[in-house]
Structure 1
Amino acid sequence: MRKTEEEQAINDQSPSPKETLILDCALKLLIETGDAGLTLRKIADCAGMRLSNVQYYFKSRDDILTAMVGRYFEDCTASLVRLTQESEVRTTRERVHFLVLSGLSHGLEISDMCRAFREIWAISSRNAVIDACLMAYYRTFSDVMIDFAFQQDIDEASRDKLKSLLVPFFEGYSITARSLPLQIEETAAMLTDLAMSVAGDRA
């Protein structure tokens, strides 16, 4: 898959230990205090560094945001790949159900992942670079998901339909799950049936 210019810029250099510490602190603050609490001074305090030291590595808050979001999305994608590699499911239906159940599970509680994504969504509405990173992440996420579930045995039109069904459902479910009448197992079975129908009921 081709990377956007923003993604390539983020990936060109691996962060140093101090840069990693700064990005870890930025993510921690984003989760705990939200976008409004993410200031250079608070990041410096969290990292036990002087403000000038933080600014040596990242000139602005936007620079930290861009690097932090890019790194976070890389970690999320790696976790999804690892999850699929460690699974023991064999048939297409089992793979789809496994992914669906894994994707929906985030909706049962307000996890750190949910908090991080909600803040990133909010930032992306005002920041074109972060928005581009977010859209690129969803494209990668959907490709990994469909490749695992259907093992390339699916045409492009069906791939697009499945992406358009599953990704929005997962994200919306993470916000609304606790208000919905069906239990997660029933919802997962329903969504698996829908996905298999779109894909032509491959066994």
Structure 2
Amino acid sequence: MKIKSNKEVIIKTATKMLSEHGNHGVTLRKVAEQSGVTLSNVQYHFGDRDGLISSVIDSYLEICLSHIRSSVQENNVKNNPDAIKSYMINLLSLDDLQGWCEVIREIWAIACRSEKVQASLDNYYQQCSNELVTLLISLDFQEQKSKELVSLLIPFIEGFSITSNLLPLKKEKVRELIINQLFEG
């Protein structure tokens, strides 16, 4: 039980450090110090820095997939177009994930120089895409329409998280516009 707890603490610490200090502010030694564990403990769990960053990505993937699954279960969206639109707008509501967007941008930078991190990032996007396509199919969307929606939504979400505070329209209006365009277009 303690081993899992240490891993979680280390991952949370690394995530926070990525958000606050960026790519160059994260070393295994600094993460160990901030986590209150030994350097050898960090190395035992993650091997190297790329292994730790890959675990941060995997942790975020689980959070995202859990959010997707629980949102559908909490809302009666099947065969309910208004509920589906509302769910999609909620999916685009990233205000609480702004810190994660900063972390993902740092991970993109690391992935440019690390095949291991790039593979984890690719896995993250692939799994999110597959989960969203499966979700939309379960909500009675045709498979092709589901793939089209996901192919537009994921890049939009990534870019929206970066630019949403700078757009001429309020975030809420942009969310509504994109959802209406996706469902009516």
Q: Which of 139, 144, 150 is 1:157 aligned to?
A: 144
User: 2: CA distance between counterparts of 1:163 and 1:96?
Assistant: 14
Q: Would you tell me which structure has more helix in proportion to its own residues?
A: 2
The question of 1:26 aligning with 2:17 is answered no
1:7 maps to: none
The question of 1:113 aligning with 2:100 is answered yes
User: 1: CA distance between counterparts of 2:42 and 2:173?
Assistant: 48
Paired residues of 2:18 and 2:26 also in contact (CA < 8 A): yes
Paired letter, 2:184: S
Report matched runs for 1:93-104 at 5 Å: 93-104=81-92
Q: Relative to structure 1, is the Cα distance of residues 55 and 81 closer, same or farther in structure 2, using a 3 angstrom cutoff?
A: same
Paired residues of 1:26 and 1:43 also in contact (CA < 8 A): yes
Instruction: Calculate the aligned-residue CA RMSD, in Å.
Output: 2.4
Q: CA deviation at 1:74?
A: 1.5
User: 1: CA distance between counterparts of 2:101 and 2:48?
Assistant: 26
Q: CA deviation at 1:113?
A: 1.8
Report matched runs for 1:16-165 at 5 Å: 16-89=4-77, 91-106=79-94, 111-151=98-138, 153-165=140-152
Deviates more, 1:165-174 or 1:94-103: 94-103
Q: Give the gaps of 5 or more residues in structure 1.
A: 1-14, 199-203
Q: Relative to structure 1, is the Cα distance of residues 32 and 156 closer, same or farther in structure 2, using a 3 angstrom cutoff?
A: same
Paired letter, 1:44: A
Q: Give the gaps of 5 or more residues in structure 2.
A: none
| 2:90 aligned counterpart, secondary structure | helix
User: 1: CA distance between counterparts of 2:6 and 2:53?
Assistant: 16
Number of residue pairs matched by the alignment: 183
Q: CA deviation at 1:91?
A: 4.3
Paired letter, 1:46: Q
Paired residues of 2:133 and 2:143 also in contact (CA < 8 A): no
Q: Relative to structure 1, is the Cα distance of residues 92 and 128 closer, same or farther in structure 2, using a 3 angstrom cutoff?
A: farther
Q: Relative to structure 1, is the Cα distance of residues 172 and 92 closer, same or farther in structure 2, using a 3 angstrom cutoff?
A: farther
Which structure carries more relative contact order (alpha carbon 8 Å, separation 6+)?
A: 1
User: 2: CA distance between counterparts of 1:65 and 1:134?
Assistant: 10
Paired letter, 1:50: T
User: 2: CA distance between counterparts of 1:88 and 1:160?
Assistant: 22
Paired-residue identity, %: 33
Tell me the TM-score normalized by structure 1. 0.77
What is the CA deviation profile of residues 115-142 of structure 1, one whole-angstrom value per residue up to 9, with x for unaligned ones?
Answer: 2222122222222222222222223223
The question of 1:190 aligning with 2:138 is answered no
